[in-house]
Chains A and B, each alone.
Chain A
């Protein structure tokens, strides 16, 4: 069964750090781009970051650039998000998601597998 399971969420003071993880199973992890998407309480989905299959290419939303670092360990089938200098506005459920793409003709990209999320709360 294809599955993503996040862990590592918790309560942290403003300015603190936290690392969340996403364990993948049931598919060839290294063949897929992976994403982090967050959702603040009562709000919509916001894309945070993505990483390619070998970990050498990364992208970040402007709101987290310079504070968050995405990485992956393909030997452990695990995705990470290191979050530093956390702010109250970073409070959210953090989801990891697998990117898939169409293989015939033009390549279209979509997030087809999602974890259940891990909650990060930043508060004093």
Chain B
């Protein structure tokens, strides 16, 4: 079974703080993704990574950065948290870049509140 874990289920931070959200997968997947989920907006892609030290912007990268120093770990960084970044953050991973086969598996999510 694929297991994707996220460091915190709930997090409360203050405006202006630097925030790190960690994600680890144990299935040797190449691809990792960060999404945020907001009511009425579905899931939106923030950043993704094909390989170690590689990163690509998703649909809403502004205000975020990422780090992938090891294959199994993908970190989302909020350099200076703002209240509009209050959201549910979901990490996902998938195995290979093969067309038609790349199902993503999600972690349990981190509910971040920025005060």
Whether chain B is bound by chain A comes out as no
